[in-house]
């Protein structure tokens, strides 16, 4: 999470000593390269000085409430210490660096704290708040985190600095694609179908979505375009897979059921995305929502393949009954290619990109995003080119010699399995 993601917000923290660390911490993530972390708080904190038994809380317990800095390796070490019961509070661990605890607060209430910190070294850090006493606490908090690039403050994490330019370039590529698509559809208006309009809308939504780049600062717009783009992508893939509007003007019952499954699942997936983006490890349901998002994404990716498989099966059967083997073979070839490309796109963007994020250093976080966007752009271009509106599509128009050759090919290829 880059510094642009850090903005003033109220952070009520109510936890108990026995809860897991995920419930004890409020965090912000930042990659620190020589960095200056500045923690600015106003009206910090208002707490009720009673322990859970209703007795006055001794001041020597206030060191169990405060902020700390940890790397991902440190966080794993803390979890091991908790599992081994060598500590009861994350602030007792030697693996983390304390920023400040409430024991350092002085003066009259409401308390104020204003301090700057230098990073202990180059790494990816989590800034967390831990409340191990179960007190009710409210505060107004402002955290400013940045890397110093000469005399300039860079508020993006190390490895994210390249993303604004990357997203800017790709957004204009999609704008150009949208313009080209609009020109092609206008020029070939007689052969343009409703699916082509939806494909154009998808490209426009993708352009706006990637232009926003990160959710924070434009939360409502980002999540709105993320939702629309996600739903439209799966809907377009399903409709193309069924051959809707350019092969047949209607959807069959089972194809409608796929849409009825995919669209609600995409709604749930986008709700999960918002919750994951707006909360963190401190939320007790964060891991559940993360796992739910993964499950929903896998189900949707599998569901969109069924209409393509059904179309391939239908074209294979039709070739033996309607006497148009060449035409059906051409369509069959096209849908087979599309099936392979969709599977490859899903595999790369879900598995290969995740692998890149795992094995590459945080300095090169932008590489996985570049790979994802290049593959996505290639997928959009392939789909648009293969299913573009043209008056004489070479895939669908063949001569008599090709018709005879196609019959033989269909007989040889009758046992094709996906």
Lowest mean pLDDT among 111-115, 296-300, 321-325, 377-381: 321-325
Per residue in 112-138, pLDDT (tens digit) is 777 787 777 788 887 888 888 877 878
Cα(119)–Cα(61) distance, integer angstroms: 27
Over the stretch 335-387, which tens digit does the pLDDT of each residue have?
A: 888 999 999 999 999 889 988 988 888 888 899 999 999 999 999 999 999 99
Residue 403 domain-assigned? yes
128 and 204 in a common domain: no
Tell me which residue has tokens 């707006």. 278
The pLDDT assigned to 288 comes to 83
pLDDT score recorded for residue 45: 43
Please state whether the peptide bond connecting residue 110 to the residue before it is cis, i.e. omega within 30 degrees of 0: yes
Q: And the tokens for 145?
A: 């985190």
Q: What is the pLDDT of residues 244-274, one digit of tens each?
A: 877 777 788 888 888 899 889 988 888 888 8
Examine the fold and report which residue of 128, 154, 180 is the final residue of a domain before the chain moves on.
Answer: 154
Answer whether 289's CB lies under 8 Å from 275's CB.
yes
Cα–Cα nearest to 30, from 126, 142, 130: 126
**Are 323 and 404 within one domain?**
yes
Long-range contacts of 219-224 (CB under 8 A, 24+ apart): 219/278, 223/270, 223/273, 223/274, 223/277
Only one residue has tokens 């007689």, namely: 190
What the block records as the tokens of 115 is: 């301090």
Query: 31 and 75, same structural domain?
Result: yes
Q: Are residues 20 and 62 in the same domain?
A: yes
The pLDDT confidence band at residue 327, using thresholds 50, 70 and 90, is low
Are residues 116 and 178 both part of a single domain? no
The reply to whether 233 and 294 lie within a common domain is: yes
Strands 152-154, 113-118: parallel, antiparallel or unpaired by DSSP? unpaired
Is residue 285 helix, strand or coil?
coil
More confident residue, 214 or 29: 214
For the stretch 73-97, pLDDT in tens is 888 888 888 888 888 888 888 888 8
Cα–Cα distances in Å, from 266 out to 153, 204, 234?
A: 38, 19, 8
pLDDT computed for residue 99 by the predictor: 86
Between CA 272 and CA 350 the distance in angstroms is: 17
For residues 150 and 167, membership in a common domain is answered with no
Other Cβ atoms closer than 10 A to 90: 24
Cα separation, 14 vs 24, in Å, equals 8
Query: Which tokens go with 95?
Result: 């693996």
Q: Look-up: residue for tokens 């911490």?
A: 25
Contact 30, 127 (CB under 8 A): yes
* Of residues 41 and 163, more confidently modeled: 163
The total domain count for the chain is: 2
Residue 213: per-residue pLDDT = 55
Would 417 be classed as within a structural domain? no
- Both 149 and 167 in a single domain? no
In a domain, 67, yes or no: yes
Phi, psi of 332 (to 5 degrees): -60, -40
242 or 7: which leads in pLDDT: 242
pLDDT in tens, 143-173: 888 888 888 888 888 888 888 899 999 999 9
Using only C-alpha atoms, what is the Rg of the chain? 28
| Residue with more model confidence, 320 or 99 | 99
Domain that residue 322 falls in? 163-412
With a CB cutoff of 8 Å and minimum separation 6, the contacts of 314 are none
| Tokens of residue 96, six digits | 């983390």
CA distances for 403 relative to 227, 330, 392, 398, angstroms: 45, 10, 17, 7
CATH of the domain at 20: 2.60.120
Neighbouring C-beta atoms of residue 94, cutoff 10 Å? 10
Pairing of strands 25-32, 123-131: antiparallel
| pLDDT of amino acid 323 | 54
Q: Which pLDDT belongs to residue 107?
A: 67
- Do 146 and 30 share a structural domain? yes
Tell me whether strands 97-101 and 65-71 are parallel, antiparallel or unpaired. antiparallel
Q: Which of 154, 181, 205 marks a domain boundary?
A: 154
Does some domain include residue 276? Answer: yes
| Cβ atoms within 10 Å of 137's Cβ, excluding its own | 20
* Helix locations, 279-322, DSSP H: 286-303, 305-318
Beta strands in 113-174 (DSSP E): 113-118, 123-131, 137-149, 152-154
Highest mean pLDDT among 16-20, 60-64, 233-237: 233-237
CATH number assigned to the domain comprising residue 378: 1.20.1070
Q: Give the separation between CA 23 and CA 19, rounded to whole angstroms.
A: 6
Would the pLDDT of 398 be above 90?
Answer: no
What pLDDT does 31 receive? 37
Q: Which residue has better confidence, 26 or 414?
A: 414
Scanning 304-352, the segments in alpha helix (DSSP H) are 305-318, 325-347
Q: Distance between CA atoms of 297 and 55, rounded to whole angstroms? A: 50
Answer whether residue 51 shows pLDDT above 90: no
Token pair, residue 56, equals: 């006055």
Q: Which of 238, 387, 386 is nearest to 306 (CA)?
A: 238
- The answer to whether position 418 is within a domain reads no
What are residue 243's phi and psi, to 5 degrees? Answer: 80, 20
How is residue 134 written in tokens?
């179960």
Instruction: Point out the domain boundary residue: 137, 154, 171.
Output: 154
Do both 200 and 134 map to the same domain? no
Residue 148's pLDDT is what? 82
Q: What pLDDT, on a 0 to 100 scale, did the predictor assign at position 186?
A: 93
265 is a domain residue: yes
pLDDT recorded at residue 60:
65
Residue 388 lies in a domain: yes
Q: Mean pLDDT across the chain, nearest whole number?
A: 75
Verify that 96 and 180 share a domain, yes or no.
no
Name the least confident of 36-45, 126-135, 260-269, 283-292: 36-45
Residues 167 and 149 in one domain: no
Q: 21 falls in which pLDDT band (50, 70, 90)?
A: very low
Residue 317: inside a domain, yes or no? Answer: yes
């Amino acid at each position: 999470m880059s510094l642009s993601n850090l903005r003033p917000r109220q952070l009520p923290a109510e936890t108990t000593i026995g809860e897991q660390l995920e419930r004890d911490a409020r965090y912000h993530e930042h990659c620190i390269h020589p960095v200056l972390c500045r923690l600015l708080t106003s009206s910090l904190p208002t707490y009720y000085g009673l322990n859970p038994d209703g007795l006055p809380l001794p001041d020597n317990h206030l060191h169990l409430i405060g902020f700390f800095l940890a790397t991902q390796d440190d966080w794993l070490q803390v979890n091991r210490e908790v599992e081994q019961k060598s500590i009861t509070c994350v602030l007792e661990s030697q693996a983390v660096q304390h920023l400040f605890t409430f024991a350092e607060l002085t003066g009259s209430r409401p308390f104020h704290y204003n301090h700057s910190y230098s990073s202990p070294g180059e790494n990816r850090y989590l800034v967390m708040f831990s409340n191990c006493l179960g007190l009710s606490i409210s505060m107004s908090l402002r955290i400013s985190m940045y890397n110093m690039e000469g005399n300039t403050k860079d508020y993006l994490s190390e490895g994210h600095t390249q993303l604004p330019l990357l997203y800017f370039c790709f957004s204009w590529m999609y704008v150009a694609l949208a313009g080209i698509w609009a020109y092609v559809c206008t020029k070939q208006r007689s052969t343009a179908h409703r699916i082509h309009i939806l494909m154009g809308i998808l490209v426009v939504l993708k352009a706006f979505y990637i232009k926003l780049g990160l959710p924070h600062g434009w939360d409502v717009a980002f999540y709105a375009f993320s939702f629309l783009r996600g739903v439209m992508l799966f809907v377009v893939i399903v409709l193309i897979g069924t051959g809707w509007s350019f092969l047949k003007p209607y959807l069959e019952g089972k194809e409608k059921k796929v849409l009825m499954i995919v669209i609600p699942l995409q709604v749930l997936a986008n709700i999960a995305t918002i919750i994951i983006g707006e909360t963190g490890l401190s939320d007790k349901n964060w891991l559940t929502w993360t796992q739910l998002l993964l499950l929903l994404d896998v189900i949707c990716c599998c569901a969109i393949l069924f209409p393509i498989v059904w179309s391939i099966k239908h074209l294979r059967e039709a070739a033996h009954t309607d006497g148009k083997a060449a035409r059906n073979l051409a369509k069959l070839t096209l849908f087979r290619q599309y099936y392979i490309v969709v599977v490859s796109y899903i595999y790369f963007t879900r598995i290969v990109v995740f692998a890149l994020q795992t094995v590459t250093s945080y300095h090169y976080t932008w590489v996985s995003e570049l790979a994802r966007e290049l593959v996505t752009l290639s997928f959009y271009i392939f789909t648009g080119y293969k299913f573009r509106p043209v008056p004489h599509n070479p895939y669908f128009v063949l001569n008599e010699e090709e018709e005879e050759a196609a019959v033989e090919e269909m007989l040889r290829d009758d046992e094709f399995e996906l």
